[in-house]
Structure 1
Amino acid sequence: MQKPHLVWVYPEPAQERLDAATWLVTTQELRNSGWDVTLVSRSRTDNGQQTFRDTDIYFIGQPDVYLFSTVLFHIKVIIFLLKAWSSIDIIMFHQMSAPWIFPLKLLRLLSGKRKPLLLMDTRTVPMDMSTLKWWLRGSFELLMNRIANIWVDGQTAITEPMAKAVKIPPEKLFGVWPSGVQVKRFAMAQEKREWPQPDEAIKIIYIGSMHNRRNLMALCHAVEKANNAGLKFEMVLVGDGWERPDLENYAAQTAGRIQVLPPVPHTEIPQLLGQAHIGALPFPDEEQFRVSSPIKLFEYMAAGLPILATHIECHTSVLGNEEFVFWAYGSLMEDLCMALEAIWHARVELGMLGAESARSADQWSWSTSAQKLNAALTALLVKNGIGVLPAVLATRQTDLVSKEA
């Protein structure tokens, strides 16, 4: 029996995304579990089969022209899918690809075949509806979710709250698979870290998007207020986004206590985390954050960092009552200041708390997450009477046994 063939359509340039591990590492794990996975991604430079970060990807080269590049990419995706049609068991895609993928089910029904099956994976809800461009995009994504609830063969989501937020019917939801981390790769950050002496500055790091909804400016003000009160903190913000120029202007007034750096290659992130003492997640209590599963949380943990986080669902569902997290019970500057004060008073314990954080990361590996996706994909095949390799079934059964335990 042949391996089940999954074609996974990712309409963003994987080479440039901070969260590319979601697709790259999960693809590797699924292949290790007995799947034949074709990951299709957009690229500004490459065409055809390439290897990027140890993962074979089929790139479709496109110019970076808003909307036009998306349309052209998906036309080429459809041509690619039609050429491989008879070999594909499942086509997995996201909201942005839905208008082009949805009609393929009608083609399948007209042909009288049972496959390829269509599975839509939802990992985001609209982040910002304040401008016309983002309102249109957000409205489009929500419309795609509503159509998918009726039309596709199955769905997956990043978290249970996400599945509820987009109202996925229980009979359509085949699984939830959260973000994860490559534990061994990020564990190397612990090797060269030097924890601060009682009179030295505690170094905070944030890596990720710098859009203004992320609450980074409030965190900057909190760090400066703490320093003005006699505490010692330094902070590095790494990433890009709309708010980056404002953050750079503010950082320029802090005598080097706050630095804003551009995005770095994923391979350099463990080294940056090794120079820090605290990982920061200052997000406000808004739906797009509540229903998410932040990759950086797991990377901070695997790197052995205690966490400064706001007390919202996406953080509490992972961290619970862990002692290595310092909660901000709100997203205002004052709330963040209270968390910084707690960190300062616990500064002699940061090394011990970091070790606890690293131990907790083991249960949030990409391998564990991929097992959940494997179980969802296998369940979709089984429900539709499509044969599955014994190795794939065995992986699913192992996952089910671990859940029951």
Structure 2
Amino acid sequence: MQKPRLLWIAFKLIDKSENRVVLLQMIERLNQHFDVRLIAGYSKEALELQAGGRPVEYYDRHGRIPLKWLRAYISQPSVIKRLIRSEPPAIIFVTHGPSNRMLRFILKNARKYGAKVVFDVRTLPGPKNNSRSFKLFSSRLLFASRHFSGVTYITEEMRRYCIKRFGLPDHKSAVWTSGVDADTFRPADLKPADTPFRLIYHGGIISAARGLDRLIQAMDYVKDLDIHLTLISSLREPEAICWIERLKLQDRVTLVDTIPHAQIPAQIQAHHAGILPFPDCDMWNTSSPIKLFEYMACGLPVIATQIPAHRNVLNGKPFAFFAKDASPQALAAAIRQAYSQKKRFEELGNQARAQVLEEHTWNSQAVRLSNFLRSYL
């Protein structure tokens, strides 16, 4: 029996590591029920990738900025129209932030072939984005909720926030979160030495917006303990990392350049606990950090701020050590609490992994999304 066709249109840069992980992991699993075809953008290199057994297709983005952005903008309609016409899909799944013009174009062409269109919301505009960014985001989401067949959200918190903040009409919706490949991210065969007590944060930008300047400052409050922090990312704001030198923490905080995603599990396994210092703001509150599930899958307890994105996963869990806010003092207090329980970490880490296996694998998220999409067939 032929599987229904699903055209996944990702207005994301697939050569960015985290975007690639989400897309390829989910499509591999969705391919059990759908014949999935993926088209995406890229920043520097159009990688030769397979998604669900088919090659990933790209928009034309050759040339220099701003010319490559203009070429992508111009080429997108013709590429999407060709894909819809050549293999008419049952469902078109639109991820991230296309323009209203593009949403209308996709809907118009979908209707020609009787395809349902679903819009996916993964993140809000960042704290540094201006009010215009929110207006554009709001207008896209309003259009999708009124005219598309449905909307999916990254968390229940995101769904509630968007409905209230943007006054969305009643619409069919579902939630699928971030996940982890628990076969790749797994506990180490050989545990790290007991000392020093090693903390890890990886991915994204080392920035104040992520609370990493205050995490570095927190290390100054635990100088009496043998604790070391590793921050993995080549993207670094000087305003954040300057605290390492200012507080003379060079022997306690190590900066590591970005590494291939395949090497991340080994890095995590060499540490005792993962730490997420994200501050209280709408973008983080509604998020679903992949790194949280990667730490848990590797059997690491986690230290985290008490924002909804963390509480909704970790509340009441003995392997979670909460900082009451993102201040250096609160983060330091949570680090001390975790340090005091380090003899229980093997037991706590096993509990963290058990929760991931039950609720937070890519398989479980693919089941959620697949069930929602199959309701249209």
Residue number in structure 1 paired with 2:16: 16
| Aligned match of 2:208 | 212
Q: How many Å apart are 1:48 and its aligned residue? A: 8.9
1:24·1:55 contact (CA, 8 Å) conserved in 2? no
Q: CA deviation at 1:56?
A: 3.8
Aligned partner of residue 191 in structure 1, secondary structure: coil
Gaps of 5+ in 2: none
Partners of 2:60 and 2:71 within 8 A in 1: no
TM-score, normalised with respect to structure 1: 0.83
Aligned pair partner of 1:102 in 94, 104, 107: 104
> 1:324 is matched with which residue?
319
CA contact (8 A) 1:129 1:135 kept: no
Residue 235 (1) aligns with residue 212 (2): no
Q: CA deviation at 1:231?
A: 1.2
Q: Judging changes above 3 Å, is the alpha-carbon distance between structure 1 residues 242 and 144 closer, same or farther for their aligned structure 2 residues?
A: farther
SS of the counterpart of 2:184? helix
Structure 1 residues 313 and 48: alpha-carbon distance in aligned structure 2, compared to 1, 3 A threshold = closer
2-structure distance, mates of 1:46, 1:36:
26
Matches within 5 A, 1:327-338: 327-338=322-333
Displacement of 1:282: 0.8
* Partner in structure 2 of residue 403 of structure 1: none
Distance 1:151 1:58, change over 3 A: same
Question: Quick one: distance in 1 between partners of 2:65 and 2:159?
Answer: 29
RMSD: 2.5
How many angstroms apart in 2 are the aligned matches of 1:202 and 1:153?
A: 50
Name 1:194's counterpart in structure 2.
192
Q: Match of 2:172?
A: 173
Q: Which residue in 2 is equivalent to 1:370?
A: 366
CA offsets 1:103-162 (integer angstroms, 9 cap, x no match): 2323455x4x422x22110011111245xxx54434322221122222222111111111
Q: 1:251 aligns with which of 244, 263, 279?
A: 244
Q: Deviations over 1:183-212 (max 9, x none)?
A: 01000x42233241xxx2211000122232
Per the TM alignment, residue 353 of structure 1 is displaced from its structure 2 partner at its CA by: 1.5
Does residue 1:153 correspond to 2:146, yes or no? no
> Relative to 1, partners in 2 of residues 1:31 and 1:108: Cα closer, same or farther, differing over 3 Å?
closer
Per-residue deviation, residues 301-325 of structure 1 (Å, max 9, x unmatched): 0011110001111111111211111
Deviation at 1:13, TM superposition (A): 2.4
Give the whole-Å Cα distance in 2 for the aligned partners of 1:282 and 1:307.
11
Letter in 2 for 1:220: I
Contact 2:9 2:39 (C-alpha < 8 Å) held by counterparts: yes
Which residue of structure 2 lines up, in the alignment, with residue 401 of structure 1? Answer: none
- Indicate how the Cα distance of structure 1 residues 223 and 365 shifts in structure 2: closer, same or farther if over 3 A, else same: same
Shift of the alpha carbon at 1:51?
Answer: 3.2
User: What is the Cα deviation at residue 78 of structure 1?
Assistant: 2.5
Report the residue type matching 2:334 in the other structure.
A
How far 1:290 moved relative to its partner?
1.2
How far has the Cα of 1:326 moved from its partner?
0.7
Displacement of 1:343 in angstroms is 1.5
Q: Is the 8 A contact 1:177 1:369 kept in 2?
A: yes
Give the counterpart letter for 1:353 in structure 2.
L
Can you list the C-alpha shifts for 1:243-282, whole angstroms capped at 9, x where unaligned?
2x33443334313210122221110100110111110011
3-state SS in 2 of match to 1:103: helix
The residue aligned with 1:276 is: 271
Cα pair 1:203 1:276 within 8 Å, conserved:
yes
For residue 294 of structure 1, report the CA deviation from its aligned partner.
Answer: 1.0
Relative distance call for 1:67 and 1:294 in structure 2 (3 A) is farther
- The within-5 A match list for 1:6-405 is 6-32=6-32, 34-44=33-43, 50-51=49-50, 56-63=55-62, 68-86=67-85, 87-99=88-100, 100-109=102-111, 111=112, 113-115=113-115, 117-129=116-128, 134-167=130-163, 171-187=170-186, 189-196=187-194, 200-209=195-204, 210-227=206-223, 230-241=224-235, 243=237, 245-252=238-245, 253-362=248-357, 363-379=359-375, 381-382=376-377
Equivalenced residues, count: 367
- Contact 1:328/1:335, CA 8 A, preserved across alignment: yes
CA distance in 1, matches of 2:216, 2:63: 33
Separation in structure 2 between the aligned mates of residue 77 and residue 56 of structure 1, nearest angstrom: 18
- Contact 1:278–1:306 (CA<8 Å) still a contact in 2? yes
Higher mean C-alpha deviation, range 69-78 or range 117-126: 69-78
Q: TM-score if structure 2 supplies the norm length?
A: 0.89
The 8 Å contact of residues 38 and 51 in structure 2, kept in 1 or not, is answered as no
Taking a change above 3 Å as real, the CA distance of residues 257 and 195 of structure 1, as seen in their structure-2 partners, is same
In structure 2, distance between residues paired with 1:301 and 1:270: 11
Question: 2:11, 2:96 within 8 Å by CA — same for their partners in 1?
Answer: no
Of residues 60-69 and 92-101 in structure 1, the stretch that sits farther from structure 2 once superposed is 60-69
1:149–1:68: structure 2 CA closer, same or farther, 3 Å change rule?
farther
Q: Distance in 2 between matches of 1:53 and 1:194?
A: 36
For residue 172 of structure 1, report the CA deviation from its aligned partner.
Answer: 2.3
Give, in angstroms, the shift of residue 300 of structure 1: 0.5
